[in-house]
Structure 1
Amino acid sequence: MPVPQAAADYYAAQQRLAAAVIANVRRLWQQVGLDLDAGWSQARPRLTALVSAGQYAAAQAVEPYLAEVLSETGQIDEAVTRIRPLSFVGVAGDGRPVETLLYGSVTTTKRSIATGATPAVARAAGSAWLDMAVQTVLADTGRAATGVGIAVRPTITGYVRMLNPPSCSRCTVLAGRWYRWSAGFARHPHCDCRHIPASENVAGDLTTSPLGYFESLSAAEQDRIFTVAGAQAIRDGADLGQVVNARRGMQRAVDGTASTTSGTSARSLAGRRMAANGDTVRLMPESIYEIAADRTEAIELLARFGFVS
C-alpha cells in the first residue's frame, strides 16, 4: 500500500513548520552585524525563542498524528500515558542546549573569515549552517516525540522508516525497513526521514522499495545521488545495499556519556546508575531505550525524565 495519507499530511505540515521557522531565523540572522559576538548576544534570545516555539509545535503535533495514522492503518491505539511536548523543547538531538548549538553559525562565520572569505561570503556560510541546524533540530524533535509516542503504545511493536524524496543514498537504503520500537532512528544532518508506527504484522504493507526509488530517478539524478560509478553498478544489477554504505555519517540521538567498542556500552552502565540515583544529568529518549531492560522500564524512565506524563 502507499504511504498512509495521515503520514504524508503530517510530513507536509512539518515541512511547512520548518520553512516558517527558518524564514524567521534568517531575518534575525541578517540583523547580526559584523561585530558577531555583540550581534549574537542581541539576537540569541529571540533566535532561541523562535526555535523553541518550533520544537514545541513539532512535538505537539505528534499525538494527533499517531492517532490518525494508527486509525488509517487499522492498528490499535492504546497509549498507557501521553507525551509532554514541553519536555522536548530547548535541547538538540545530541543533548546539547539548542542555544549552544545555534552558536555554531557564529563559529562557522568566523572560520570562513579566518580562511580568507569576504564578510558577505562568510555570513552566507553562517546562514546556511543555521538553516541546516534549525531544520535538523526540528526534525529531531518530531522524531524523538514520535519515538516516545510509539514507546508508550505497547500494542505497536515498531515502526517503518518513511522516505521523503528527494533523499540521499544512505536514506534510500534504509527506506521501508521495519525496526523495533526501541531501535534508535539513524539519521544525518538535514535528514528528513520519519517514523510510521507499525506492528510487525502490518509492516509489510507499508514497506517501500529502495530499488523502486532508484529506478524512479533520471539517470542524471541517479549519478548525482549514488555517484556515477555506484549508479552504474546498480543499473548493471549490483545490490543497492552493497553499493551504499548506509551507516556512514549516520547517527542516533544520545546523551553525552561515553561508549566502548568491546560490546558493552558504557552509556548503558552510566545511564542505569544515573536513573537509579536520580542524578540531574538528563538522558535522551534513545538512551533510555538502550538502557531499559524492557518496555515497562523504558516507560518508567521516560516518565522519570519528564518526557511523558
Structure 2
Amino acid sequence: MADIPRPAVEHYELILVLQADAIGLARQTWRNVAPNAIDASFQAQLPSLVREVQDLRWAAALEGSAYGAFTLADQGTYVPPSDFTDIDGLIMATPNNGVVADELSVSTIRAKQAITRSGTTQGMLAGRDALAGILATMIADTARQASGVDLVTRSGIGYVRMLNPPSCGRCATLAGRFYRWNQGFARHPRCDCVHVQTETKSVDGAKAEGLIDDPYEYFESLSDAEQVQRFGKYESQAIRDGADIFQVVNARRGRKGMYTTEGTTKRGAFRRANQKFSKRATPELIYRNAEKWGLDREGTRALLRTNGYILPGGQNPRGSIRGQVEGYGQMGAGGMRRKASQAVIDARLSGVRQPGNLYTMTAAERRVADAEWAWREVQLGRNPWTSAATERRWGRPAISPDYPLTPDIAASVEASYRYWLARGGQIYTR
C-alpha cells in the first residue's frame, strides 16, 4: 500500500475522534428518549443536541480546511490559498444543504418504523443506531466539504483519494485516483476515504510521489475471509482468477438476478466487445455454471473473458479499458464543445473556477443548479421541460412549441428542487 502523507493520517485520526464523540453524544441523547413518547422526548433534547453537534462540526470543518496546507508541505511544496474557508457559514446547513435539526430528527422516524416491524426493543436500538450513523456521517462529510472548499482556493491543486482500511469494494476501485477540483468525491454513507491534496499535474507524477494507491494491493492484503466480506464470494474468486477488479465491482450495480446490465448498453465495454451477446452473466452465475459443467480453471477463465471480466489489458490498477484520463467535464463532449472545454482548460490553468459557471461545476453542483433553474422557470409561470426553455437558457433554436406549464409539471419541478437541494446534489449508494 502507498504511504499516506503524515498530516493526512493525523487528520483522519482526529476526524475519527470527533466521530467517536458524536456517536457517544447520540447514545447519551437516546437514553433519554421514551419509547411511548419518542417525538416529544427527542424534541425536548434537540436544541442542546444541535448545539453540541455544531461544535463538533465546527472542529471538523476547521480541521478539514487546514490540513491540506500541511499535506502539501509534507510533499515538499506549498501553494497559498486565495481565500480562507468561512467555517461558520459552512456549517449553517448540513453537508446535504439541509436543516441540522431536521436531519437529526430522521432517527425518530427510523425508530418508529423499526418498532412497527420488530418490536419496541429492536426499534429503539435501530433509532439509536440511526442517530449515531447520521452524526458520524455528518462529521466526516463536513470535514470533506471543508477540504474541498480549501482545495478550490489553491491554484493548480488536485487531490488523490486514499483508502482507510477496512474498505468496501466500491471504495477500493476508486483508491489512488487523481481528481481535479471540479470532480466530485463519490462516496456512500459512512464512507471514510480522505482527500490527499497534491500539486501533481499528472497521474504519473502522483505515482512517483507515492500517492497512487493500488486496489489490487489492497485486495491481496486481505485474508480470504476478508476478501469475501468486502467484495463477495464469487467476485473475490473472479479477481483471484485474473478478472478486472473494476468490472467485477461495477457489475454489482446493474445486477438483476443472475445477470447484470452493467456494460450492456450500446456504449458499454462488454457490448462493444461482444456484439452477439445480449445478456451478461454475473460472476456467481459463471462459477455456478462452471461447477455444473465440470469446467477446469482455464474453462472458467474463458467464461470470465467472454463475459467481459478478464480483459486484454490484464489487471491494471488504473483500469484496463480507458486508464485514468482527464476529460473536459460532463458538458465538454470530449472537447467538441468549444466554450465548455475552454472554460475547463482556463480553470485548470488558473486553478480557480468561476462561481456559478455550469461548465466547471461538479456533477453534484450541476444537479442543484439545473433544479434551481427549472424552479425559477416555474415561478415565472413557464414550463422548463420544452425546447423553448432550452433556447432561453442556452440560446439553442427551439424545435417544438412552448407547451404551457401544468400543475403536475410545477409540482414535479418543485419536488425535484427540494430533493436535490436537500441532498446537495449528491447521489448516495447503498
Distance in 1 separating the partners of 2:79 and 2:376 = 30
> Does the CA-based 8 Å contact 2:114-2:126 persist in structure 1?
yes
C-alpha displacement of 1:283? 7.6
Does the alignment pair 1:229 with 2:227? no
C-alpha displacement of 1:266? 2.2
State the TM-score, normalized to the length of structure 2: 0.58
Q: Structure 1 residues 54 and 242, CA, compared in 2 at 3 Å: closer, same or farther?
A: same
Distance in 1 separating the partners of 2:422 and 2:114 = 33
Distance in 1 separating the partners of 2:126 and 2:222 = 30
Residue equivalent to 2:58: 56
Q: Which amino acid aligns with 1:93?
A: P
Q: Structure 1 residues 29 and 65, CA, compared in 2 at 3 Å: closer, same or farther?
A: same
Segments of 4+ in structure 1 off by > 4 A?
246-249, 252-255, 267-273, 281-287
Residue equivalent to 2:47: 45
3-state SS of paired residue (1:197): strand
Q: Structure 1 residues 247 and 67, CA, compared in 2 at 3 Å: closer, same or farther?
A: farther
> Does the CA-based 8 Å contact 1:168-1:225 persist in structure 2?
yes
Q: Which amino acid aligns with 1:221?
A: E
> Does the CA-based 8 Å contact 1:171-1:246 persist in structure 2?
no
C-alpha displacement of 1:247? 9.6
Please give the residue correspondences for 1:66-105 in structure 2 after superposition, counting only pairs within 5 Å. 66-105=68-107
3-state SS of paired residue (1:61): helix
Please give the residue correspondences for 1:27-42 in structure 2 after superposition, counting only pairs within 5 Å. 27-34=28-35, 35-42=37-44
Q: Which amino acid aligns with 1:125?
A: A
C-alpha displacement of 1:87? 1.6
The CA RMSD measured in Å over matched residues stands at 2.8
3-state SS of paired residue (1:43): helix
> Which stretch of structure 1 is more off in the superposition, 179-188 or 70-79?
70-79
> Does the CA-based 8 Å contact 1:108-1:126 persist in structure 2?
yes
C-alpha displacement of 1:54? 1.0
Q: Please tell me whether Structure 1 or Structure 2 has the larger radius of gyration of its CA atoms.
A: 2
Stretches of structure 2 lacking an aligned partner (at least 5 in a row)? 255-361, 378-417, 426-430
Residue equivalent to 1:11: 12
C-alpha displacement of 1:63? 3.7
3-state SS of paired residue (1:77): coil
- How many aligned residue pairs are there? 270
C-alpha displacement of 1:118? 2.3
State the TM-score, normalized to the length of structure 1: 0.80
Q: Deviations over 1:94-152 (max 9, x none)?
A: 2211211111110001001122x221210100111111111111111000000000000
Distance in 2 separating the partners of 1:43 and 1:253 = 37
Residue equivalent to 1:302: none
> Does the CA-based 8 Å contact 1:177-1:207 persist in structure 2?
yes
Distance in 2 separating the partners of 1:248 and 1:95 = 27
Q: Which amino acid aligns with 2:370?
A: A
C-alpha displacement of 1:185? 0.8
Distance in 2 separating the partners of 1:18 and 1:223 = 27
Q: Which amino acid aligns with 1:24?
A: L
**Percent of residue pairs bearing the same amino acid type:** 38
Match of 2:370 among 241, 245, 266: 266
Larger RCO, structures 1/2 (Cα 8 Å, 6+ apart):
1
Does the alignment pair 1:243 with 2:258? no
Q: Deviations over 1:138-181 (max 9, x none)?
A: 1110000000000000131x110011111111001001100111
Stretches of structure 1 lacking an aligned partner (at least 5 in a row)? 260-264, 274-280, 288-309
Distance in 1 separating the partners of 2:23 and 2:236 = 33
Residue equivalent to 1:123: 124
Distance in 1 separating the partners of 2:252 and 2:135 = 23
C-alpha displacement of 1:220? 0.2
Q: Deviations over 1:26-79 (max 9, x none)?
A: 101111112101101111112211211111000111343112111001223221
Residue equivalent to 1:189: 189
